[in-house]
Amino acid sequence: MRRYGALSLGLMLFWAGQVFAGAATTLTEAQYVTLKADIEANSAEFAGKSDADIAQAYNMAATPAFQVYKIAVTKNALLFEKSPQATVFIPTTNGWATRTTQELTLFTQLFDAQGVMDPSLPNVNAILLFIFAGTGDAQLNRVHIGNQSRELSTRAERLYIVSGAGTNGDPGVRAWKGLLSARDIAHALNPSVPLS
């Protein structure tokens, strides 16, 4: 009975979380202020560089490496593709075949009509931990899903991490995801420069 109570809680958390999306793809004016402060803090690195050069530097992977949750992972990637760490989904035993009907249904409901889920949402992670609880193949599937749900942050995205340590076990959650343009840099340094 305790398991069904947790399942009900998981469903409530899941549906409540669907109101929110993952990281934004457009910077706010406050985020441009943060970007300007970081550019100024690294003025020696950017001295004499064009806005395009500065944007390119911010679009490179953060150093040191900082892991973040992806904001979109396909069901196909989780179930049928090998992760960058060479893990695979195990459909046998308690990895999948012996999960309850409720767990399998809940897993399916994590994905939208296009077969995509957002693992950066805390409720999605809680539900995945609930579904694949246990040892053996269930634990290996949790590791595989985690591997498929992470990627490296760019230097720019690293400025807007809202939680997480950036490790495999505690990936960061981004408030913004994307690539900066020369116009973004120009606007950050001088807000009177239009974005379009």
CA 135 remoteness from chain centre: 25
pTM of the model as a whole? 0.84
Domain ranges of the chain: 2-189
Q: Mind listing the pLDDT tens digit for each residue in 1-20?
A: 444 444 443 443 443 333 33
Q: How far apart are CA 96 and CA 90, in angstroms?
A: 7
Helix (H) / strand (E) element for 161: namely strand 161-163
| Range 157-172 average pLDDT | 96
Of 17, 5, 2, 7, the C-alpha closest to 131 is: 7
Q: Mind listing the pLDDT tens digit for each residue in 59-91?
A: 999 999 999 999 999 999 999 999 999 999 999
Residue with tokens 């400025």: 159
